[in-house]
Structures are given as structure tokens and as C-alpha cells.
Copies of this chain bind each other. A is one copy, B any other.
Amino acid sequence: MSGLILGVGKYLIKRAVADDGDVPDVTIPDDGEGDTNPVTEEIFSSWALFILLLLLISALWSSYYLQQKRIQAVHETVLSIFYGMIVGLIIRVSPGHYIQDTVTFNSSYFFNVLLPPIILNSGYELHQANFFRNIGSILTFAIPGTFISAVVLGVILYVWTALGLESVNISFVDALSVGATLSATDPVTILSIFNAYKVDPKLYTIIFGESLLNDAISIVMFETCQQFHGRDAKFTSFFEGIGLFLMTFTISLLIGVIVGILVALILKHSHIRRYPQIESCFVLLIAYESYFFSNGCHMSGIVSLLFCGITLKHYAYYNMSRRTQISTKYIFQLLARLSENFIFVYLGLALFTEVELVYKPMLIIVTTISICLARWAAVFPLSRLINWVHRMRSNGQSLPDEIPYQYQMMTFWAGLRGAVGVALAMGLQGEFKSTLLATVLVVVVLTVILFGGTTAGMLEVLNIKTGCVDEDESDDEFDIEAPKAITTNSVLANRRFNKSTPAVPYSDIRNRSSPNINPQEDLLRDDDAPTDLDEIPPLMPASVNPMERSSTSIVGTVQSILHTDDRARWFQNFDEQVLKPVLLDVDPSKNNRNGSPPN
């Protein structure tokens, strides 16, 4: 990015000097590596940053305008890409090519600066009840789904290139690498649309969880493939790869959870909450540490950071001062939003300014069609599998499909690719690197424009329930202009059809004026909603009529094998009786910061 910034900056200064001729004291170095005067350099980079921030502001303002006018056809991320492309095009057609040398998509910046805030915020914002209730579907789509997608895409690409129509000749391992690269779906665009429309939480959670986890899985798959680059692929490599993958996933998850628990314990056993400014920095920095530590150990930082975020929210959050609770939440959101917009601006820029790219139109078309096929092959068969397992487990009850057709179609449609793919493609090796990278870049931008631009319309065509408000949002006590309460209750009425008492939004409890409210009760009502709901049958989308129902005798067998409900209850008990007392600071005399501030 430094290169990008300086490049754009120098370019602009050069133009300015050329235009009016009387800018004094600006010496323009012709290459970025010279012994430049820092003061001059600072002016270069000031203009570059000015332009970049202006692009971000334009994207944000467009987003506001689109939301305000309820325009569905175009989305913020698509506009971000377009704005980036326009600036990229201007740089491209302008004389002099040293800028194009410096404006490159730097995968190190992407992985170290832009990606972490998005992942951390995702973990922190995750509706844990919904996530764990749908964990089966999410993992099915994420793990075998990504695998199927990568293999289908890899095979199609290998066969196409083997035909020799475009004089591109890649090995099967390289084809599989590209397949893995293009199997990472992008959580950003779809989710911002889903958030704006308040799509049914179950669908939201499945797509969100899948796109989060499949980034991690694509990365691990890609790295595994790269290890076999130039080697002969053996049949044992397949199992080696799967073993490596499972190990990476588990260790990464553990790193994240351990770091989260560590933060909870530190917050509980220290008085750092008396200094909320230090506390906020501390939480943010430690979460990042889990990411960098995990990446440094050849594990998946994304998985660690995601689960670190989840653990922080589940335990550490309740040991924080109220101020840190609010500030971490807002800061994570802001950083995530800025990163998201920046990534898309950057992708648009890269499309025109990457000088080494070799565009092969036929390969791009074939790849675009292939990723649709690959996504299709992953989503629909796996949805049927999930529905079948669900029917097996329903024990004769007449339940609707776990993943009805609309949801399958929407999950397919949500398979647009993002910046993770481009960042991974930077790591491709071999003589056709430039061709493959160009293909990945164009395909990613195309999917974002095509699928991202039509998602809102698709929601309407498929008649998917929108306008649902998550319980989580009741925490946004300052969002007082946002519509609330009314929709929440109607949704809840659809969802909680047995057992649980009407949920009391956390903010209601907090806003009671008594500072002596029992924090344990407070916690239970808010966060333990998941545990209350564990035994409730999965959500019924309000717009779906109950469909085929079958009860067979193997239900018991399947259930006894899966033990899912039992396991969930075991963890729930363990969480309540062991983990929470150990990790949370439940002494009421200390803990009234979780209640209403005493005035």
C-alpha cells in the first residue's frame, strides 16, 4: 500500500507541476527507492491518501444514498469497485508507467491490515445462538462444500487447459490451487445486503458462517496444494492433505479459544477495568495477537481470530467495563467497515494497474461458468443431504425442510468471490502465474458485480422473509433512530413456539434504574438465550409451508450416532456450572458496571 500511496501521490504532484508550472521546491524522484526528501515524500503521500479517502467517502456516501432511497439494483461494494476502476483507468491511460509498477495489490497488507478487522468483527457480532443452532449446516457447506467446489472447478480448468486452445498448460495441482482460490466466498457484500434488509436470521447465519469458515478452508486447501506444486500428486497426498487440514483447523480454533479465555481471566483477576482506555486497547491488541500468532505458526489466523472473537463475546465481554463493551463493539464495527470498502476500492484499482496481468478472455468465461457449476455442485447436493439427515432426526414429527429450496437458491446466489481469492492467487507459482492471477481477479470482480448487484432482487424473487430484527440488536441502545421492538416481537412470536419465556432485551434490563440488579441474572437473560433455545426445533421460516415429512425407524439409530442434542446439553451444563463461574466476574458487589450506571 505504501507503494500505491507514494505512486499515486507522485503521479498527482507531477501532474500538478506540469499543469501550472510554478510549484516551488518540489523535486520529483523518478523511482520510489531513491533518497527522497521526507518532506516532499510526505506531500506525495498526502495527496495519495487524500484520493484514497475520497474514494472511501464516496463509497460510504453512495451507500447512505442507496439505503436512503431504497435502491436495490446497485450495491455499495459494486460502486466501490467502480470507483476504484475509474481511478485505476485514469492511472493506466496516463503517460508514464512507474505508477503502474508501484500500484500493486499487496497481499501482505491485505492479510495483516485489511482482513483482521473484518474477521474479528464477524466473530464479535456473531449471533451465537443462531450460529451454534445451525452449526451442522454451516460446517457441511463450509468443509465438504468448499472441497467439492474446489475439486469441480479444478477438474474443469484442468480439462479446459489440457485442450490447448489458449496455449495455457497447467498441472492438476495448479488447477486445484486455482479451484481453492476461487472457492473462498466473500462474506462482505452479501452480509451487508442481508443486514440492510434484515433477512431471516437462519439464512443469514448459514451464509455468514459458511462464507467465514470457507475463507479459512480455502486458505488451508490452497497452502496444501502449493506444497505439492511441482511434485507428482499421489493418492496418499489426498489423505495427507485432509489430515493437515483437520489439524490446522483444530489447532487454530484452540488458539483462538484459549486467547479469548485468557483475556476473560485477565480481565476478571485484574483491575484493568478501572482504566477503560487501556482495557479497550488491550482487548483489541490481544485479539490481533491471536491472529498473528496463529499465522506465524502456519495455522489459520482467520479461524483463530473468528473463534477468539466469539469467545471474547461469550465470556470476556461480561468482565469488561461498560465503556469497553461499547467501545470495542463500535471500534470493531468501524474498522471492519472501512476495511471492507477499502478492499473493494483496491480490487477495482488493481484491475487496471497490475501491469503484468495476461488476460485470456476464453479462460475467463470458462472459469466464470465453472464457478457457477462448482457452487451448484456444492450447494444443492449438500442441502439435500442436510434435509435428509434432518428428516431422519425429526423422529416422526412433521417438520419443514431444514434448508428449503429458496434457501438453497439464495446460498448458491451468495457464492460471490472476494478479496481473499485475489490475495491467495498472488501466491500462485509457475509460468502461467500472470494468466491465472488475471483470471481470478476478473472473475472475482465479475461475481461481485453480477451476484452482488442482483442479491437484493433475488431476495424478492425468492420471496425470502426480510425485516427480521435480531435480538442482538437490542444491545444497540444508541441506535435510537432505527426501527425496533415491533418487528422483534413478531419475529420472536414466529420463532419461539414453546418453553421459553418471552425474551427480555438486554437493554431493558440495563436501563432499569436499580444498580443492584444481579449480574448473573443479567447475563443469563442476554447471552444464555442460546442455551434456552438449544432444544427448540430449528427455526421455521415464516413464509414456508410445511412440506414432505417422513418418519423412519432408523431415526433412533442416527440420533444415537449423532448425539447432537445431548452434546449440546452437556456443553451447556459445563458452560453454566464450570466455565462461567471460573471465567466471569460474578461478584455482585464488584459487578454493577454491567448494570445501569449509578447516577
A interface list, Cβ under 8 A from B? 2, 5-6, 24-25, 37-39, 41-43, 45-47, 49-50, 53-54, 56-57, 60-61, 63-64, 67-68, 107-109, 111-112, 223, 226-227, 270-278, 280-282, 284-286, 288-289, 291-293, 295-296, 298, 301, 321-323, 326-327, 330-331, 333-334, 337-338, 341, 423, 426-427, 429, 476-482, 507-508, 511, 593, 597-599
Contacts and interface: CB of A to CB of B under 8 A. Distances in A.
B282 A43 contact: no
4 nearest interchain CB pairs?
A: A323-B478, A327-B330, A46-B295, A38-B107
A598 B480 contact: yes
A67 B593 contact: no
Given A50-B292, A57-B286, A63-B275, 5 more contacts: A46-B293, A50-B289, A67-B275, A281-B337, A481-B593
Given A43-B295, A60-B285, A296-B46, A481 B38 contact: no
A24 B532 CA distance: 47
A108 B323 contact: no
A378 to B, nearest CB: 25
Contacts of A41: 107-108
Contact of A292 (B46, B273, B511): B46
Nearest to A39: B427
A274 B331 contact: no
A112 to B, nearest CB: 5
Contacts of A37: 427, 429
A571 B274 CA distance: 40
A47 B296 contact: yes
Nearest to A113: B49
A598 B331 CA distance: 24
A361 to B, nearest CB: 26
A59 to B, nearest CB: 10
B108 A45 contact: yes
Contacts of A477: 597
A599 B474 CA distance: 11
Contacts of A6: 108
Contacts of A67: 275
A53 B323 contact: no
A489 to B, nearest CB: 15
A223 B39 CA distance: 8
Which of A54, A292, A478 has the largest number of chain B CB atoms within 10 A? A292
A171 to B, nearest CB: 17
Contact of A47 (B24, B292, B331, B480): B292
Contacts of A598: 480
A47 B46 CA distance: 29
19 contacts: A38-B107, A38-B108, A38-B427, A41-B107, A42-B295, A43-B298, A46-B296, A60-B281, A63-B275, A277-B337, A281-B341, A285-B338, A321-B480, A323-B330, A327-B330, A327-B334, A478-B597, A480-B593, A508-B599
Which of A2, A60, A296, A326 has the largest number of chain B CB atoms within 10 A? A296
Contacts of A479: 276, 321, 323
A334 B53 contact: no
Contact of A338 (B274, B281, B427): B281
Given A278-B63, A478-B323, A111 B53 contact: no
A482 B38 contact: no
A278 B45 CA distance: 25
A57 B2 contact: no
Contacts of A38: 107-108, 423, 426-427
